[in-house]
Amino acid sequence: MASLIAYTKKQLVQRLRQDILNDFPSSEFNVTENETLLYIDQALAFNIVGQVFQGAKVLGNIAMPESYLTTYQTTALVKDNTTGYWTTTLPQPPLSLPLGYSISRGYFAQQLNGVSQEVIWIKAKRVSRRNVMPRQPGVHGWVEGSTVYLDASNGTSLYGIPFYVTMAKSRTDTIDETMNLPDDAIELIFNNVKQKLISRMQMPKDIIADDISQGATNITNK
Amino acid sequence: MAISVNDIYMFALDLIKKNQAGGLKPSSFQYQWNDAQSSYMDDLLGRFQLRSNGKTGLNTGLIEDETILQKISPFITNATVTITGGNGNKPADFVYRLGLRINGYDCYKINYNQIASVNASVIDPPSATTNTYYFIEYLGYYTFLPSSVTSATLDYVAQPADVVWGYTIVSGREVYNSGTSTQPQWGVNSCREITKRMLANLGVAYKDTDFENFGRQVQTVGE
């Protein structure tokens, strides 16, 4: 069943702008949709991390709500000829959650062979230690920023194999995309952004930056 | 029912109890009434000097409430602005901009000292692809960003046409001729109010403080 109003990021952006202005925004409202979207993404990321840790406090175990997860096919794997590691780029740096929650899954998949065994995630700081330990068979992966490093335990080439990751998504690809979040999270995001925008709008503005307080000059607002 | 230029002329003569021949000539009436209608429109569009002149203060421009918009509605129109090399001329009868759109998307006004920042923006750079448009106002034209746009839709308040009390000479007298007249475009109530406001000017011409005070009172309280 389709909902009456499309739950997209754009809908949230427009709701916020209309709520703050108590009307349809005019072209004089200088907080643009893109800017509002950046505030939303910022609040969303903050909210995901907060929600996960808050959930851990209540339930005793850490858990990532599935609504935040998205599976991506990453860019083609590239081999670093110096190290022998294969690298690819994530759509965004993972959120500051423990590995396994910031990135939930990593696997290879092809029409011919289906889905591979899962990538074994290791913390970047453990790579050196793991290299001198007996290695569990499979592909090991670690993350630095938005770069993923992959290394097969038996040195198998990963050339041309599509790689997929499932991770919490806090950034927006297009403003018309469906909101990838549980509806109960909208409240906090909405309030967070609204508070920021209202406090910004209430700041006295010196349009011509002459350091003369507003009202002490006859140059009008635009 | 529309009110004619002759009706308001007669109303003016009646208000000041003067006659056409020596009291208020049609040509004087035209000068004064046209001045009064410009002043009336300026009042409707917002006279920030009368009120707070704070840079972000109150009441600094047109208050788009229903009453004011209804009164100026005979002059609210739109035009397609043709843009060449990033510049598009305002219409000749332009008075006040109400809205400016390109391809149905808002065109944002920026100040001159913001052009460089807007061009360097990574959040909302001027772009026809994302329908992000900006304009800056110069002389009688607008400069648009990005400069590749070719046309814009402008909603604006147009200048009221000057009224003309046209006449033909009959037995040596000027007799009203609707065929050669230019009628007022305002609504009936506004026409009457403008005529009364005109008395402030006539009071100066006649050195009559009663007229002047009455005209000022109408300008202040509308009655």
From chain A, pick out residues whose CB is under 8 angstroms from the CB of B102: none
Nearest one of B196, B220, B189 to B210, comparing CA atoms: B196
- Summarised one tens digit per residue, pLDDT across range A116-163 is 999 999 999 998 898 888 889 999 999 999 999 999 999 899 999 999
Of A28, A30, A220, the CB nearest to B55: A220
Domain ranges, residue B180: 5-50+164-221
Looking at the structure, tell me whether residues B80 and B143 fall in a common domain.
Answer: yes
CB contact under 8 A, A220 and B111: no
Nearest one of B137, B47, B203, B189 to A218, comparing CA atoms: B47
CB contact under 8 A, A207 and B54: no
A positions 18-47 inside 8 Å of B (CB): 27-28, 30, 32, 34-35, 38
Of A27, A206, A218, the CB nearest to B106: A27
Best interface-test mutation with A: which of B48, B49, B55, B100 has the largest number of A CBs within 10 A? B55
- Residue carrying structure tokens 């990453």: A74
- Residue carrying structure tokens 């591979």: A116
Looking at the structure, tell me whether residues B94 and B141 fall in a common domain.
Answer: yes
Q: From the CB of residue A187, how many other CB atoms can be counted at a distance below 10 Å?
A: 10
Looking at the structure, tell me whether residues B31 and B84 fall in a common domain.
Answer: no
CB contact under 8 A, B52 and A206: no
- Give the mean pLDDT of B8-31: 84
Nearest one of A30, A11, A27 to A200, comparing CA atoms: A30
CB contact under 8 A, B53 and A215: yes
Task: Answer yes or no: is the ipTM higher than 0.85.
Answer: no
Least reliable range by pLDDT among A48-57, A145-154, B211-220: B211-220
- Give the mean pLDDT of A84-97: 94
Of A27, A205, A220, the CB nearest to B107: A27
Looking at the structure, tell me whether residues B90 and B112 fall in a common domain.
Answer: yes
Looking at the structure, tell me whether residues B168 and B146 fall in a common domain.
Answer: no
- Domain count for chain B: 2
Nearest one of A221, A93, A95, A157 to B56, comparing CA atoms: A221
Domain boundaries, chain A: 9-61+174-201, 67-168
Residue B65 lies in a domain: no
Q: How many CB pairs under 8 A join A and B?
A: 50
Looking at the structure, tell me whether residues B181 and B197 fall in a common domain.
Answer: yes
pTM of the model: 0.78
Identify the pLDDT of residue B54. 45
Q: Is the pLDDT of residue A38 over 90?
A: yes
B41/chain A closest Cα distance in angstroms: 19
From chain B, pick out residues whose CB is under 8 angstroms from the CB of A215: 52-55, 57
